[in-house]
Amino acid sequence: MMSGAREQPGSATAFEGLVDHYDAGRPWYPPALYDALPDLSGRVLELGAGTGIATRELAARAGGLVATDLGPKMLGRLHERSPQVPVAVCRAEQLPFATGSFDVVCGGQMWHWVDTSRATNEAARVLRRGGALAVWWNEVDADGLPWWDAQQDRLEAANPRYTRRYRERDYAAELAPVFPRVQTWSTRWVRTVDWPTYERWLRSKSYVQALPDVESFLEEERASLAQAFPDGRIVEPFRVSLWVARTA
Ligand SMILES: C[S@@+](CC[C@H](N)C(=O)[O-])C[C@H]1O[C@@H](n2cnc3c(N)ncnc32)[C@H](O)[C@@H]1O
């Protein structure tokens, strides 16, 4: 059974009010991720491109790239930074592109937002025969570290719709009815940031914005991280995971 739209711990449109925080605090993706993507030398469509964190790297590799997002403000920031990339405001579930017009459809940190059934069929429609859909996520890979476990405990207690595993799904099984061949890949990487950057990352999360008292949560986080990282250098371990699905 393919799933449709799912309940989320935050709002998909919340990002429209978070562009500056998003731009300043969100993690990037390691170079190995771009090397693991399908051949980008043809026509590439990016879905849910946001402020363009991945777009900047994709643009350097793609034969032709179009970036899309449902949010005009997120996409506006992308356009400021990458004016050479054509953009279109649209949902992954209803793409304003001709059938068979792309070699690769891709998106980072966004596929969990879509109505899976509609977006999967729409991606397959705009791909040429043999084309690939590639979706990927950064996840903090810090289970067992006290600062991380404490943060996640606080979030789960304060936002009843949030669970630390909310993006963990069987994406291969969801895609399989339309994309019979699904391959996965992942790697670990680390970034080190200061508190102002980390705070902006927290503020850029839709499920943090959905908390009843964002400022108290951030104050507790600041104290917890100051204890865990007394030199002020917050070390975040990540795992980036990729699913590549091909049409028949
Ligand atoms: C967490 S952000 C990821 C942005 C960017 N891909 C990145 O890696 O930083 C999720 C993005 O998906 C967009 N989005 C959410 N639901 C969408 C949908 N159904 N169709 C297209 N974009 C969507 C949001 O507007 C937001 O910009």
Is the CB of 22 inside a 6 Å radius of any atom of ligand 1? Answer: no
48 CA to centre of ligand 1 in angstroms? 3
Q: How confident is the model at residue 76 (pLDDT cuts 50, 70, 90)?
A: very high
Is residue 139 within 8 Å of residue 239, measured between CB atoms?
Answer: yes
Nearest residue by C-alpha to atom 26 in ligand 1: 50
Domain CATH number, residue 103: 3.40.50.150
Whether 71 has a pLDDT exceeding 50, the answer reads yes
What is the rounded CA–CA span in Å between residue 91 and residue 95?
6
The whole domain housing 18 covers 14-139+165-189+239-246
Query: In degrees, to the nearest 5, what angle opens at C-alpha 96 toward C-alphas 100 and 127?
Result: 20
201 in any annotated domain: no
- The confidence score (pLDDT) of residue 126 equals 98
CA dist 234 to 126, 146, 195, 229, Å?
42, 13, 7, 6
Is the CB of 92 inside a 6 Å radius of any atom of ligand 1? Answer: yes
Q: Checking DSSP bridges between strand 102-108 and strand 181-193, what pairing results, if any?
A: unpaired
Cβ count near 214 (within 10 Å): 14
- The confidence score (pLDDT) of residue 110 equals 96
- Token pair recorded at residue 11: 């709002």
Q: Give the chain's mean pLDDT.
A: 94
Residues 8-21: what's their mean pLDDT?
79
Residue from 58, 74, 110, 204 whose mutation best tests the ligand 1 pocket (most atoms within 8 A of CB): 110
pLDDT digits (tens, 9 = 90+) for 131-170: 999 999 999 999 999 999 999 999 999 988 899 988 899 9
Question: Can you give the pTM of this predicted structure?
Answer: 0.94
pLDDT digits (tens, 9 = 90+) for 104-131: 999 999 999 999 999 999 999 999 999 9
Report the half-sphere exposure of 82 (CA within 13 A, side-chain side): 22
Say how far residue 178 (Cα) sits from the centre of its chain: 22
Q: How confident is the model at residue 3 (pLDDT cuts 50, 70, 90)?
A: very low
Whether 1 has a pLDDT exceeding 50, the answer reads no
Is the CB of 106 inside a 6 Å radius of any atom of ligand 1? Answer: no
Residue type, 177: P
- The confidence score (pLDDT) of residue 247 equals 85
Whether 8 has a pLDDT exceeding 90, the answer reads no
For the chain, percent helix, then strand, then coil, each to nearest 5? 40, 25, 35
- The confidence score (pLDDT) of residue 10 equals 66
Whether 201 has a pLDDT exceeding 90, the answer reads yes
157 in any annotated domain: no
194 in any annotated domain: no
44 in any annotated domain: yes
Q: What are phi and psi of 136, to 5 degrees?
A: -150, 160
Residue with tokens 């949010």: 71
Domain total of the chain? 1
18 in any annotated domain: yes
Residue type, 153: D
Is the CB of 126 inside a 6 Å radius of any atom of ligand 1? Answer: no
Beta strands in the chain (DSSP E): 43-46, 64-69, 87-89, 102-108, 127-140, 181-193, 234-246
Report which of 139, 134, 120 is spatially closest to residue 182, judged by C-alpha positions.
134
Is residue 219 within 8 Å of residue 113, measured between CB atoms?
Answer: no
Is the CB of 9 inside a 6 Å radius of any atom of ligand 1? Answer: no
231 CA to centre of ligand 1 in angstroms? 34
220 in any annotated domain: no
Contacts of 23 (CB under 8 A, 6+ apart): 51, 77
151 in any annotated domain: no
204 in any annotated domain: no
- The confidence score (pLDDT) of residue 4 equals 59
The partner residues of 192 in beta bridges, in order of sequence, read 235
Q: If you average pLDDT over each of 18-27, 157-166, 235-244, which comes out highest?
A: 235-244
